[in-house]
A and B are shown apart, each in its own frame.
Chain A
Amino acid sequence: MVKYILKRIGFLLLTLFLVASITFFLMKLLPGTPFNNPKIPAAQQAILAKQYGLDLPLWQQYVNYMVGIVHGNFGESYQFAGQTVSYLISTRIGPSLQLGVQAMIVGTLLGILLGAIAAIRKNTWVDAVATIFAIIGRSIPNFVFAALLQFWLAYKMNLFPIALWDGFSSSILPTLALAMAPLANTARFMRTEMVDVLNSDYIELAKSKGESQWQVVAKHAMRNSMIPIVTIIGPMAVDLMLGSLVVENVFAIPGIGQQFVQSITTNDYPVIMGLTILYSVMLTVVILVVDVLYGIIDPRIRLSGEGN
Chain B
Amino acid sequence: MKKTYGVKIAAAATVAVALLSACSGNKSSSTGSTGAKTTWSRMEGDIISTMDPSLITDAISGQAATDTMAGLYRYDGSDLQPDLATAVVKPTNSGKTYTFKIRNAKWSNGDAITANDFVFGWRRTVDPATKSQYAYLYSGIENADAIMAGKKKASTLGIKAVNKSTVEVTLEHAIPYFETMLVNPAFFPQSEKAVDQYGSKYGTQSKYLVFSGPYKLVGWNGTNNSWKETKNDSYWDKKNVHIDQINVTAIKDPSTAYNLFKSGKLDDASLTGDQAAQAKSDPSYQGVKQASTFYLEMNEKKIPAFKNTKIRQAISMTINREEYIKKVLQDGSIVAPNLTPSGLATDPATKKDFSAEAAKTGSQYTKYNPKEATKLWTEGLKEAGLKDLNIELLTDDGENSKKTGEYLQNTFEKNLPGLKVSISTVPFKTRLARSTAGQFDMVMGGWSADFPDPITFLDLFTSNNSYNRGKWSNAEYDKLIDESKTTYANNAEKRWDVLLQAQELLTKEQGVIPIYQRVQAHLVKQGKISGLKTTPGGAYDFVGATVKK
Decide if A and B touch, CB cutoff 8 A.
yes
Determine whether the beta carbon of A87 is less than 8 Å from that of B222: yes
Q: Chain B's nearest CB lies how many Å from the CB of A46? A: 10
Question: Interface 1/0s, chain B 186-223, versus A by CB < 8 A?
Answer: 00000000000000111110000000000000000111
Rounded to whole angstroms, the CA-CA distance of A48 and B130 in the bound complex is 10
Q: Is A163 an interface residue (CB 8 A)?
A: yes
Determine whether the beta carbon of A31 is less than 8 Å from that of B430: yes
Determine whether the beta carbon of A265 is less than 8 Å from that of B133: no
Determine whether the beta carbon of A155 is less than 8 Å from that of B223: no
Determine whether the beta carbon of B2 is less than 8 Å from that of A163: no
Q: Chain B's nearest CB lies how many Å from the CB of A45? A: 9
Determine whether the beta carbon of A88 is less than 8 Å from that of B201: no
Residues in B430-471 with C-beta less than 8 Å from chain A: 430, 432-434, 436, 445-447, 450, 466-467
Determine whether the beta carbon of B260 is less than 8 Å from that of A163: yes
Q: Is A52 an interface residue (CB 8 A)?
A: yes
Determine whether the beta carbon of A91 is less than 8 Å from that of B260: no
Determine whether the beta carbon of B222 is less than 8 Å from that of A80: yes
Query: In the assembled complex, which residues on chain A have CB atoms less than 8 Å from the CB atom of B402?
Result: none
Determine whether the beta carbon of A252 is less than 8 Å from that of B4: no
Query: In the assembled complex, which residues on chain A have CB atoms less than 8 Å from the CB atom of B223?
Result: 80, 83, 87-88, 91-92, 254, 259
Q: Is B352 an interface residue (CB 8 A)?
A: no
Residues in B239-274 with C-beta less than 8 Å from chain A: 249-253, 255-256, 259-260, 262-263, 265
Closest-by-CB residue of A relative to B61 is A81
Indicate which residue in B134, B204, B253, B432 contacts A36 across the interface (CB closer than 8 Å).
B432
Determine whether the beta carbon of B55 is less than 8 Å from that of A82: yes
Question: Interface 1/0s, chain A 252-272, versus B by CB < 8 A?
Answer: 111000110010011100000
Query: In the assembled complex, which residues on chain A have CB atoms less than 8 Å from the CB atom of B445?
Result: 38
Query: In the assembled complex, which residues on chain B have CB atoms less than 8 Å from the CB atom of A44?
Result: 133, 135-136, 148
Residues in A18-74 with C-beta less than 8 Å from chain B: 30-44, 47-48, 51-52
Q: Is B57 an interface residue (CB 8 A)?
A: yes
Which of A146-154, A191-199, A299-307 is the interface stretch?
A146-154
Q: Chain A's nearest CB lies how many Å from the CB of B401? A: 13
Q: Chain A's nearest CB lies how many Å from the CB of B101? A: 32
Q: Is A251 an interface residue (CB 8 A)?
A: yes
Determine whether the beta carbon of A82 is less than 8 Å from that of B432: no
Q: Is B1 an interface residue (CB 8 A)?
A: yes
Query: In the assembled complex, which residues on chain B have CB atoms less than 8 Å from the CB atom of A297?
Result: none
Closest-by-CB residue of A relative to B133 is A40
Indicate which residue in A34, A38, A162 contacts B259 across the interface (CB closer than 8 Å).
A162
Q: Is B482 an interface residue (CB 8 A)?
A: no
Determine whether the beta carbon of A42 is less than 8 Å from that of B466: yes
Indicate which residue in A80, A82, A250 contacts B200 across the interface (CB closer than 8 Å).
A82
Q: Chain A's nearest CB lies how many Å from the CB of B7? A: 5
Determine whether the beta carbon of A42 is less than 8 Å from that of B436: yes
Question: Interface 1/0s, chain B 1-44, versus A by CB < 8 A?
Answer: 11011010000000000000000000000000000000000000
Number of A-B contacts (CB under 8 A): 155
Q: Is B224 an interface residue (CB 8 A)?
A: yes
* B136, B150, B265, most chain A CB atoms within 10 A: B136
Indicate which residue in B50, B136, B250 contacts A252 across the interface (CB closer than 8 Å).
B250
Q: Chain A's nearest CB lies how many Å from the CB of B202? A: 7
Rounded to whole angstroms, the CA-CA distance of A154 and B50 in the bound complex is 33
Q: Is B82 an interface residue (CB 8 A)?
A: no
Count of chain B residues with Cβ under 8 Å from any Cβ of A?
59
Q: Is B308 an interface residue (CB 8 A)?
A: no
Q: Is A164 an interface residue (CB 8 A)?
A: yes
Known: A32-B429, A164-B226, A265-B427. A41 touches B466 (CB 8 A): yes
Q: Chain B's nearest CB lies how many Å from the CB of A249? A: 5
Q: Is B353 an interface residue (CB 8 A)?
A: no
Rounded to whole angstroms, the CA-CA distance of A243 and B397 in the bound complex is 21
Q: Chain B's nearest CB lies how many Å from the CB of A174? A: 12
Q: Is A224 an interface residue (CB 8 A)?
A: no
Determine whether the beta carbon of A162 is less than 8 Å from that of B256: yes
Rounded to whole angstroms, the CA-CA distance of A110 and B223 in the bound complex is 34
Determine whether the beta carbon of A32 is less than 8 Å from that of B133: no
Rounded to whole angstroms, the CA-CA distance of A16 and B5 in the bound complex is 37
Q: Chain A's nearest CB lies how many Å from the CB of B180? A: 16
Question: Interface 1/0s, chain B 115-156, versus A by CB < 8 A?
Answer: 000000000000011010111100000000000111000000
Rounded to whole angstroms, the CA-CA distance of A35 and B436 in the bound complex is 12
Rounded to whole angstroms, the CA-CA distance of A35 and B135 in the bound complex is 13
Known: A32-B432, A36-B433, A44-B133. A252 touches B128 (CB 8 A): no
Q: Is B230 an interface residue (CB 8 A)?
A: no
Query: In the assembled complex, which residues on chain A have CB atoms less than 8 Å from the CB atom of B149?
Result: 47
Q: Is A79 an interface residue (CB 8 A)?
A: yes
Q: Is B428 an interface residue (CB 8 A)?
A: yes
Query: In the assembled complex, which residues on chain B have CB atoms less than 8 Å from the CB atom of A91?
Result: 221-224
Q: Chain B's nearest CB lies how many Å from the CB of A163? A: 5
Rounded to whole angstroms, the CA-CA distance of A259 and B55 in the bound complex is 20
Determine whether the beta carbon of A265 is less than 8 Å from that of B397: yes
Q: Is B225 an interface residue (CB 8 A)?
A: yes
Determine whether the beta carbon of A162 is less than 8 Å from that of B265: yes
Determine whether the beta carbon of B447 is less than 8 Å from that of A252: no
Indicate which residue in A158, A164, A267 contacts B429 across the interface (CB closer than 8 Å).
A267
Known: A31-B434, A82-B203. A252 touches B249 (CB 8 A): yes
Determine whether the beta carbon of A80 is less than 8 Å from that of B50: yes
Query: In the assembled complex, which residues on chain A have CB atoms less than 8 Å from the CB atom of B204?
Result: 80, 82-83, 87
Q: Chain B's nearest CB lies how many Å from the CB of A205? A: 56
Q: Is B541 an interface residue (CB 8 A)?
A: no
Rounded to whole angstroms, the CA-CA distance of A31 and B397 in the bound complex is 15
Determine whether the beta carbon of A262 is less than 8 Å from that of B2: yes
Closest-by-CB residue of A relative to B221 is A91
Rounded to whole angstroms, the CA-CA distance of A65 and B128 in the bound complex is 22
Q: Is B229 an interface residue (CB 8 A)?
A: no
Closest-by-CB residue of A relative to B7 is A39
Q: Is B76 an interface residue (CB 8 A)?
A: no
Determine whether the beta carbon of B433 is less than 8 Å from that of A31: yes
Q: Chain A's nearest CB lies how many Å from the CB of B181? A: 13
Q: Is A165 an interface residue (CB 8 A)?
A: yes
Query: In the assembled complex, which residues on chain A have CB atoms less than 8 Å from the CB atom of B309?
Result: none
Determine whether the beta carbon of A251 is less than 8 Å from that of B4: no
Rounded to whole angstroms, the CA-CA distance of A81 and B135 in the bound complex is 14
Determine whether the beta carbon of A39 is less than 8 Å from that of B450: yes
Closest-by-CB residue of A relative to B4 is A37
Using A38-B4, A151-B259, A267-B429 as known contacts, list a sample of 10 further A-B pairs with CB atoms less than 8 Å apart, ordered by residue number in A: A31-B429, A38-B445, A39-B4, A44-B133, A47-B135, A47-B149, A48-B133, A162-B260, A164-B249, A249-B252
- Residue ranges of B at the interface with A (Cβ–Cβ < 8 Å): 1-2, 4-5, 7, 47, 49-50, 52, 55, 57, 128-129, 131, 133-136, 148-150, 200-204, 221-226, 249-253, 255-256, 259-260, 262-263, 265, 397, 427-430, 432-434, 436, 445-447, 450, 466-467
Query: 9 tightest A-B contacts by CB?
Result: A32-B433, A254-B225, A81-B55, A81-B50, A31-B433, A265-B427, A36-B432, A32-B429, A44-B136
A-B contact pairs, 6 of them (CB 8 A): A32-B433, A39-B134, A81-B55, A162-B259, A163-B256, A251-B256
- Residue ranges of A at the interface with B (Cβ–Cβ < 8 Å): 30-44, 47-48, 51-52, 79-83, 87-88, 91-92, 147, 150-151, 154-155, 158, 162-165, 249-254, 258-259, 262, 265-267
